[in-house]
Structure 1
Amino acid sequence: MTVRPATLDDVPDIVRVCSEGWRDTYRDIHSEAYAEAVIAEYYTPERVASEIGPSDSGQGWQWDGWLVAELEGQVIGAAGGGPTGAETWEIFVLYLDPAKRRLGAGRALLNAMTAQALAHGAREQWVSVTQENEKGLPFYRAMGFEVREARESVSESTGEPVHSFRMARPLGAA
């Protein structure tokens, strides 16, 4: 298993992994309309291509660029995040090919993002996880994340309720 910064050549694989991973994770949680609206907003080739490298949101957070996990030359996972404060770093996305789960890609991607967080001087790493996400919640709990807050919102695209947990874990001193 190798993790590396993504290149433009990885865009189709990132789109595939995130779209398939999103559908697989949320098929029993959200409607198909909601799933397709999220995919159409976040996982298009154009958007992913524009996010390949680091960027500043101009809204108080940064994006460190996409990372991909490869196994035998095949992209099986994609992730990204960035600093959200002087000592905080957020995981914005982490998805795996549904057929390639439990091979270590999630842990490898999280480890690479943790290295990015520490390089920024972060002391805490955060993630938002849908409360009903029985794939993500056990993973993050096993990696030392704890629920700090429960949030409720409504999808702008479909009007569906969205229930999420804000989870965090401490990181070692930078």
Structure 2
Amino acid sequence: MHTVEVRPAVAADAAAISQLLAAVIRESYTGRLEANAVEHMVGTNCSLSRIGAEIGIPGGAPSWLGWLVVTNAGGRVVGAAAGGVPGAGEGEVYALCAAPLFRRDGIGSALLAAVTERMRAHAAERQSVTLPCDADPALPFYNAHGFKGSERRLTRDI
């Protein structure tokens, strides 16, 4: 494992975030969800115009704290995360993914830590994530980071 540096996303990262998120959704949920549900998730969550607009929100807002990325030595985006504080004291992880070839390199943990710090700065005391399916492939990752709850809605104190 090497040192992982997380930084705020910039406009030039939008396409890479879109492509990474779409690839991870397809890899994670094909065979777990119906094909049309997987493509609906991709269409809804990975739109280049949406991600570009979200990156462009100056300074964010408590309900939207922005995109964070991790790049490899060549500058390629290999991890991305987004979160916010949609209610008093309640943080929400909206997206968190690492490229399959870079998993177990600490990228997900570094992104989660950075999202968590942003949430704490906006007075979040708890953090939640909603997973798309039961027995989600991300469930062991979140459990290892202290999230508990149903198989689809997990929370932890931060």
TM-score, structure 2 length as denominator? 0.89
Aligned residue number for residue 77 of structure 1: 79
Identity %: 34
The alignment's C-alpha RMSD in Å is: 1.5
Aligned residue number for residue 23 of structure 2: 20
Gaps of 5+ in 2: none
TM-score, structure 1 length as denominator? 0.81
Preserved contact between residue 2 and residue 71 of structure 1 (Cα < 8 Å): no
1:55 is displaced (CA, Å) by 4.4
The count of corresponding residues between Structure 1 and Structure 2 is 151
In structure 2, give the amino acid aligned to 1:166. Answer: R
Aligned residue number for residue 127 of structure 1: 129
SS at match of 2:123: coil
Aligned residue number for residue 47 of structure 1: 50
> What is the 5 A alignment of 1:76-115?
76-115=78-117
Preserved contact between residue 84 and residue 90 of structure 1 (Cα < 8 Å): yes
Q: Compare CA radii of gyration and give the structure with the larger one.
A: 1
SS at match of 1:12: helix
In structure 2, give the amino acid aligned to 1:64. Answer: L
Aligned residue number for residue 157 of structure 1: none
* Aligned mate of 2:153, from 166, 169, 172: 166
Preserved contact between residue 81 and residue 91 of structure 1 (Cα < 8 Å): yes
